[in-house]
Amino acid sequence: MVTRQVPKPSELFELMKFKKPQLNAKKRRLDAALTINDLRTIAKRRTPKAAFDYTDGSAEDEISLARARQAFLDVEFSPSILRGLSDTVDTSTEIFGGPSALPFAIAPTGFTRLMQTEGETAGAAAAAAAGIPFTLSTLGTTSIEKVKEANPNGRNWFQLYVMREREISYDLAQRAAKAGFDTLFFTVDTPVAGARLRDKRNGFSIPPQLNPGTIVNAIPRPWWWWDFLTTPKLEFASLSSTGGTVGELLNAAMDPTISFDDLAVIRDLFPGKIVVKGVQNVADSKKLVDLGVDGIVLSNHGGRQLDRAPVPFHLLPEVVREVGNDTEIAIDTGIMSGADIVASIALGAKFTLVGRAYLYGLMAGGREGVDRMIHILRDQIERTMKLLGVATLQELAPTHVTQLQRLIPRRTA
């Protein structure tokens, strides 16, 4: 039997606590995003298909990216209990000779103003506010000097493609050093451009061409087009080639003849730290350590180059075991959550980079969208650490992580 009573008006009023409506539509939209996937959904709604697909897609059958994300989904955490934690955890770390408030940085991405007109300026300013490093790509759409202006006191990193015309690359490295960029990422997984089939199917080119398909697609996305047409022309800030299909542009920037010899030249040119990005096996990691690099990034370029490439997260434990004491190891590809970052640090990565997570935030809401991306990842990192029973990143250990698929023995190189 249920006992019933007449509701009292005062009790009803208690229940009726309406929140003040958020009148700022952008803030309302971004506050509703609780995960990076939520930001991706907003980004997709607001960005023309060709630009969204350029960001979201990867190479060939997109297997590299799917596997990299699956590897993170296959993480099982093992928490420690009753660790007498305080209310806060320390997420700060030292990487490549300097500090970062969080164990991730914004990865270098080309064509960034195409995704949303604020582009790298939004990324660099958000990184400055959060105390994390920002990386500018050789194919960036904002100049080295403008990025410095957006992040004047924080850490800026420069990503270098060693191009056919070596002098252009060397000049860029020197310009970045002059502007106070403290670390250079030499990207090595791009002897040629990967086959981004979505771009081919979309007929994607820079600048975007208007045809019946793009016009229909533009109708529900007027703000992107408004931004595109009313802000400075989309250009590569550091390169002279300005137009063509993405494949043509990338192939112009990349050179299949680059070799280990180029590393020595860059080393002499750039006074800061030299990190090689796109390392994909133990043998190359060892060779790079012998050549004296300051760090390596285990990465397959977000799955945008070689499809069916090794999953960086799977490679991590072995590379850490072999060279972890001799160099600093960072990792990227597939990171969509703070938990992915925590798992990477637990398995010995010193640091991580996020590419698409940043760009989804940018497309969802410019600078505020990138702030939201950082907020979501920070929140997830802090909560995961607390639930694991650790107060600092240094306390994270391989015993906190089981890779479920890795229980099956794999062929070793």
Ligand X SMILES: Cc1cc2nc3c(=O)[nH]c(=O)nc-3n(C[C@H](O)[C@H](O)[C@H](O)COP(=O)(O)O)c2cc1C
> Does residue 375 carry a catalytic annotation?
no
**Judged by CB under 6 A, which stretch of 164-172, 267-275, 295-303, 313-321 contacts ligand X?**
295-303
- Upstream peptide bond of 207 is cis (omega within 30 degrees of 0): yes
Question: Is-contact 352 341, C-beta < 8 A?
Answer: yes
How far from 261 is each of 7, 160, 219, 283, CA to CA, in Å? 81, 15, 50, 17
**Residue 253 Cβ, how far from ligand X at the closest point, in Å?**
8
**Judged by CB under 6 A, which stretch of 77-85, 107-115, 120-128, 395-403 contacts ligand X?**
107-115
The conformation of residue 231, written as its DSSP 8-state character, comes to S
For ligand X, which residue of 126, 139, 150, 390 counts as binding (CB under 6 A)?
139
Distance, CA of 393 to CA of 388 (rounded, Å):
11
Which amino acid would we find at residue 337? S
Question: Is-contact 207 249, C-beta < 8 A?
Answer: no
133 makes contact with ligand X (CB under 6 A): no
For ligand X, which residue of 95, 107, 309, 396 counts as binding (CB under 6 A)?
107
Residue 320, both tokens: 């850490």
Assign residue 298 a region: left if phi > 0, alpha if psi is -120 to 50, beta otherwise?
beta
**Residue 8 Cβ, how far from ligand X at the closest point, in Å?**
54
**Judged by CB under 6 A, which stretch of 14-22, 121-129, 347-355, 390-398 contacts ligand X?**
347-355
Question: Is-contact 275 293, C-beta < 8 A?
Answer: yes
Count of residues that interact with ligand X, criterion CB under 6 A: 24
Contacts to ligand X from residues 5-34, by CB under 6 A? none
Q: Which is nearer to ligand X, 128 or 341 (CB)?
A: 341
Question: Is-contact 55 359, C-beta < 8 A?
Answer: yes
Contacts to ligand X from residues 357-396, by CB under 6 A? 357, 359
Contacts to ligand X from residues 312-331, by CB under 6 A? none
355 makes contact with ligand X (CB under 6 A): yes
299 makes contact with ligand X (CB under 6 A): yes
**Residue 110 Cβ, how far from ligand X at the closest point, in Å?**
3
> How is 98-142 classified by DSSP, letter by letter?
EEESSSEEEPP-SSHHHHSTTHHHHHHHHHHHHT--EEE-TT-SS
SS3 340: helix
The conformation of residue 302, written as its DSSP 8-state character, comes to G
Catalytically annotated residue among 301, 314, 375, 400: 301
Count how many residues are written for the chain: 413
**Residue 81 Cβ, how far from ligand X at the closest point, in Å?**
32
Q: Which is nearer to ligand X, 109 or 380 (CB)?
A: 109
For ligand X, which residue of 116, 141, 159, 238 counts as binding (CB under 6 A)?
159
Torsion of CA 38, 141, 105, 406, to 10 degrees: 70
Calculate helix-pair angle for 63-73, 312-323, nearest 10 degrees.
70
256: exposed, middle or buried (Cβ count in 10 Å: 0-12, 13-18, 19+): exposed
Q: Name the residue number minimizing CB distance to ligand X.
A: 355
Residue 275 φ/ψ, nearest 5 degrees: -125, 135
150 makes contact with ligand X (CB under 6 A): no
110 makes contact with ligand X (CB under 6 A): yes
109 makes contact with ligand X (CB under 6 A): yes
Contacts to ligand X from residues 168-187, by CB under 6 A? 187
Q: Measure the CA angle with vertex 102, ends 371 and 343; round to 5°.
A: 110
280 makes contact with ligand X (CB under 6 A): no
- Pattern 55-94, ligand X, x by CB under 6 A: x---------------------------------------
301 makes contact with ligand X (CB under 6 A): yes
302 makes contact with ligand X (CB under 6 A): yes
Q: Which is nearer to ligand X, 278 or 390 (CB)?
A: 278
Active site residues: 301
Residues contributing to the site for ligand X (CB under 6 A): 55, 107-110, 137, 139, 159, 187, 277, 299, 301-302, 304, 332-335, 353-357, 359
